[in-house]
A = this chain, B = another copy of it.
Amino acid sequence: MKLNKNANTNILIVGLGLLGGSYAMALKKKGYHVEAITRSQSTIDYALEHHLIDAGSIQVDAEMIQRAELIVFALYPHVFMNWIKENQHLFKPSTVLTDVTGVKGSVVYEIQEMLREDVEFIAAHPMAGKEVYGVENSDDRIFAGANYIVVPTDKNTPEAIALCEELGRELGFRSVSCLSPEKHDEMIAYLSQLTHCIAVTLMCCHDNEHLVKYTGDSFRDLTRIAKINDAMWSELFMMNKDQLLAQMDLFMEKFQELRNDLVNDNLDDMRAMMRLSTERRKLFDK
């Protein structure tokens, strides 16, 4: 299949939180027919009222699932895996499934292993978000400057990979790329999970409610993501434990290097690290 908004490609979103809602908003604006299954009726009501979806259900609605050509799962990892286990008999043959899960190695293989032969799961990770939750905060502008990573395995067909890449572009992501589940998890441990560990740690160092009067933008920047959904992130950390531990250790080793330079008045090496970081960070300027 290919995405075709003129032919009314029917997209079902399962889990209408911030990300699911933002997917719905972007796809609906592009002209797709978007339906949603989610837990609470107030979420459905909000999404209908704000024209994020064409139809919604709080039940695992067999007819709705049968109508879908593409299903996007925007659920917590373990909820996603259970959902597939319990409901995969309802998929129409040839349905393509994708997701937004933040870890891949411990999810993708297990799902592809248990999945019916006549449907295909192609994993993806939209690197976009906000520090707020819920469908009410849906905002398709979060995709504009962001990266979208398609995470195929040997089991995936070129067609499904192309479809998933096309979905990333239709959503409005700035960059769409491909990584293996292993490489993805290493990158995410470094770029996302480690940074969340650092932000949380920073906020836990001092109990001083006056800090806000003394802080500059640097501390603000480094702790923006310290407002964190503890249920979701602890689950993501545990599912990527080995990779995250490796990245934490690498970080601590380099941090210790810098500390030693300071202890030993080793200005040359300290400044060399600063120049390296400056050089590398320039590549990130949007």
Q: Which residues of A contact B (CB under 8 A)?
A: 127-129, 146-147, 149, 175, 177, 179, 184, 187-188, 190-192, 194-207, 209, 211-228, 230-231, 233-234, 237-238, 241, 244-245, 247-252, 254-256, 258-259, 262-263, 265, 267, 270-271, 273-278, 280-284
Contact = CB atoms under 8 A, between A and B. Distances in A.
Nearest to A280: B203
7 contacts: A177-B213, A190-B205, A220-B284, A226-B277, A227-B277, A237-B262, A252-B252
Task: Give the most central of A194, A227, A276: most B CB within 10 Å.
Answer: A227
B263 A245 contact: yes
B222 A222 contact: yes
Given A205-B250, A213-B177, A262 B277 contact: no
- Copies of this chain present in the complex amount to 2
A278 to B, nearest CB: 5
A105 B187 CA distance: 41
A181 to B, nearest CB: 13
Given A188-B214, A190-B206, A221-B225, 17 more contacts: A127-B216, A147-B214, A147-B215, A149-B214, A177-B214, A195-B219, A197-B255, A205-B251, A205-B254, A218-B225, A223-B277, A230-B270, A234-B270, A237-B270, A241-B262, A245-B263, A248-B259
B238 A265 contact: yes
A103 to B, nearest CB: 14
A209 to B, nearest CB: 6
Contacts of A270: 230, 234, 237
Contacts of A191: 211, 214-216, 218-219
A226 B278 contact: yes
Contacts of A251: 201-202, 205
A265 B245 CA distance: 12
